[in-house]
Structure 1
Amino acid sequence: MNHVVKKLSGVVFAAFAFTSGAAAEPVNIRIGWSTMPGHMIPVLYSKPDILKHYGKSYTVEPILFRGSSPQITAMAAGEIDMAAFSALTIVLAVTNARQNVKVVADIIQDGVEDYHSETFLVRKDSGIKTIADMKGKRVGSNAIGSASDTAIRAMFKSKGLQDKRDYTVVEVAFPNIPPMLDEKKIDMGTVLQPQSDQLLATGNYEVLFRAKEAVGPSQLVSLVARADFLEKNRQALNDFFEDHVRAMRWFRDPANRTEAVQIISSFMKQPPEKLSHVFTKKDYYRDPFLFPNVKTLQDSINIAHEVGLSPTKLELAPKYVDLSFVEEAKRRIEAGQ
């Protein structure tokens, strides 16, 4: 009898030790991203001395995508846990892919006060001066349904132009838009920083419009996560978000600017002088504690519905928003923990 009890106790202890060991394994967080230095996800975890919990309770695996839209399929297939989503892709993830997702943090906001707003450029010799001049022309868009694509459609619709009837959308990865403009394969395209300022400095390009003129200030890209992943790993994710916010605050701190730009420069394989816009008013706005602007995000969802991209006008809050992680990160950081 005692022998049996001892044997069972040993089994229970072994099972407990196995379970405890498994729980101690860091949670690997697979995060989709598409643009640098806008999204910052590939470099945020490159400074171990400012990350309190990396490698202990979590690790991060950044995964590159062409834009927001392709990340929907990856999330539905269980290939990523978090994604950099535009307003429309949040709606499509919920309505088309039947995903239970939550907006958890800010990535970038467009057109806030006097911060940068996405630019849509044309060649100066194209003769295109107004949106009306784009009739019959080709538009370069990084991905159908992306934030910039929604701004294009909103602006064109406000001037009476409709996709397919009045203009043609050509999907082009962001880095390929400038050469396609130069080669006259497209007539207008979304050009991101730093290329936007660089092209304008040549005198060969003009801004046809900016995103804020089409949709106003907007929560351009949000960090969105699977609800089941959040609930299953809440403790580890509280650690992750503390580090995530701390890291972003470190990168944005003027005292760290030289080193921060050098890290981004090395990742992008671009000279630091070409990244002079980063973390200035020529860059996108980022909330100090990465709180997403839920109101402007809802406004963008409504616009996507109005231009025919969204099948429904999804009500985002409260069902598809969870700010508890950035709230906890702010509490920890302000408490000096």
Structure 2
Amino acid sequence: MQFAKLLTATALVASIGWAVPAAAEPVNIRIGWSTMPGHMIPVLYLKPEILQHYGTSYTVEPVRFRGSSPQITAMAAGEIDMGAFGALVLALAVNNARQDVKVVADIIQDGIDGKHSETFMVRADSGIETVEDLKGKRVGSNAIGSASDTAMRAMFAKHDMQDKRDFTIVEVAFPNIPPMLDEAKIDMGPVLQPMSSALTESGNYRTLFTAKDALGPSQLVFLAAKTDFLEANRDQLNDFFEDHVRAVRWFTDPENREEAVQIIATFMQQSPDTLTHLFTERDYFRDPFMIPNIENLQNGVDVAVELGLAPTGLTVSPDYVDLSFVEEAKRRIEADPQ
């Protein structure tokens, strides 16, 4: 009798739509990025069969910026939930913009294990042979305060050279740096892959120095997120990071390289032949489980303070780090590698 009453009650509840809570909507994650193919964020969700939770727990909205530093304002204004930050940007976000943010995942690391380091290039016929030769010249920077900008300033500081006194910085979006070098509108600038290899092979350009020359191995760019967003959506973000790490591992797996390069080439509207550096020794290092190198990140913050780019320092760990998401992703993937 009691069982019959239970069945009747259950049927009644099921027949009343408002009595049964609807499944929660997926959390939309707005992620800032600035460069492709380095950051990879816009393409990681283009192959749904390698994602287990997309559209159920979360969706992703990539938002493009010129560099890392403009993402501080966007995060403060509530326009993005996560951003591709550099070391200086983290310090400025916390100390200047008073943002409560956490370092949550690796994006790219520079000069690690013999892999690529960002190149700062000049024309071969420019007569510029040393950093000192840039006195009185114009140098390109993708965004003041970005990871590239910090590395460049660190190299100038090693040679006792200062902006405005010894050279002039011109803000130029990454894609425009090679043509501006070619037209002699700037005398040096950071050139990303694949253009770095292409310009070197042409014989018309050469690398004056690299980011590793300036900073040593570095946590060049990492994913930072708003703390309140992390806490409010922890379950969904555990799903997101599992998929995020699985996607990066799929793209960087040598067995998938041809298809992975084709996906990126299609997104960038380029021929795969222009992306031969991808996922080789000529590419940046990416941690296999997207765990950032906090020691190298701390070094980057310290260098920014020494250069006077950040007014005050920052001890990154433990207050501004939350690796629980990538650690949970690693646990899940190792338990079910598929």
So what's the TM-score if we normalise by structure 1? 0.94
**Secondary structure at the residue paired with 2:125?**
helix
Alpha-carbon deviation of 1:15? 6.7
* Residue in 1 that maps onto 2:60: 60
Which residue does the alignment assign to 1:247?
247
Deviations, residues 82-104 of structure 1 (Å, cap 9, x unaligned): 00001111111111111100000
Distance 2:298 2:285 in 1: 18
| 1:44 counterpart = 2:52 | no
Task: Give the Cα separation in 1 of the matches to 2:160 and 2:330.
Answer: 45
- In structure 2, the gaps of 5 or more residues are 1-11
Partner of 1:260: 260
Amino acid of the residue matched to residue 72 of structure 1? I
1:215 to 2:215 alignment: yes
Q: Are positions 1:198 and 2:181 aligned together?
A: no
Q: What secondary structure is seen at the aligned counterpart in 2 of 1:318? A: coil
SS at match of 2:180: helix
Cα distance between partner residues in 1 of 2:70 and 2:19: 41
| Superposed displacement of residue 150, structure 1 | 0.5
Q: Tell me the secondary structure at the aligned position of residue 261 of structure 1.
A: helix
What corresponds to 2:134 in structure 1? 134
Matched position secondary structure for 1:126 = coil
Match of 2:270 in 1: 270
* 2:226 paired with 1:226: yes
2:124 aligned partner? 124
CA distance in structure 1 between the aligned counterparts of 2:321 and 2:102, rounded to whole angstroms: 5
> Residue by residue, what CA displacement relative to the aligned partner does 1:56-96 show, whole Å, maximum 9, x if unpaired?
00000001110001111100000100000011111111111
For the residues of structure 2 that align with 1:122 and 1:307, how far apart are their CA atoms? 24
Residue type at the aligned position of 1:214:
A
CA distance in 2, matches of 1:145, 1:15: 52
**Could you say what secondary structure the match of 2:261 adopts?**
helix
Following superposition, the deviation at residue 24 of structure 1 comes to: 1.5
Kindly tell me: are residues 333 and 160 of structure 1, through their superposed partners in 2, closer, same or farther at Cα, counting changes over 3 Å? Answer: same
Give the distance between the partners of 2:151 and 2:65, measured in 1 at CA. Answer: 20
Identity %: 71
Whole-Å Cα distance in 2 between the matches of residues 15 and 225 of structure 1?
Answer: 35
What does 1:1-337 align with in structure 2 at a 5 Å threshold?
Answer: 17=20, 20-21=21-22, 24-336=24-336
The secondary structure found in structure 2 opposite 1:251 is helix
The residue type paired with residue 244 of structure 2 is: H
Deviations 1:216-266 (A, max 9, x none): 000000000000000000000000000000000000011111110000000
Distance 1:261 1:207 in 2: 25
Instruction: Write the deviation string for residues 88-132 of structure 1: whole angstroms up to 9, x where unpaired.
Output: 111111111111000000000000020000000001111100011
C-alpha distance in 2 between matches for 1:334 and 1:43: 23
1:245/1:16 Cα in 2 relative to 1: closer, same or farther (>3 Å)?
Answer: farther
Q: CA RMSD in A?
A: 1.5
2:5 aligned partner: none
Q: Give the Cα separation in 1 of the matches to 2:17 and 2:113.
A: 59
TM-superposed CA distance for 1:189, in Å, is 0.4
* Per-residue deviation, 1:277: 0.3
Letter paired with 1:223:
L
Tell me the amino acid that sits aligned with residue 131 of structure 1. Answer: V
Measured in 2, the distance between the counterparts of 1:84 and 1:43 equals 15
Letter in 2 for 1:241: F
Shift of 1:14: 7.2
- Structure 1 unaligned blocks of 5 or more: 1-8
Deviation digits for residues 277-308 of structure 1 (CA, Å, limit 9, x no counterpart): 00111000000000000000000000011111
Q: Which amino acid aligns with 1:31?
A: I
SS of 1:150's partner is helix
Question: In structure 1, how many angstroms separate the alpha carbons of the residues matched to 2:130 and 2:53?
Answer: 51
CA drift of 1:274 comes to: 0.6
For 1:78, give the aligned amino acid: G
Alpha-carbon offset, residue 191 of structure 1 = 0.2
**Alignment partners' CA distance in 2, 1:261 and 1:204:** 27
Code of the aligned partner of 2:318: P
| Helix, strand or coil at the partner of 1:248 | helix
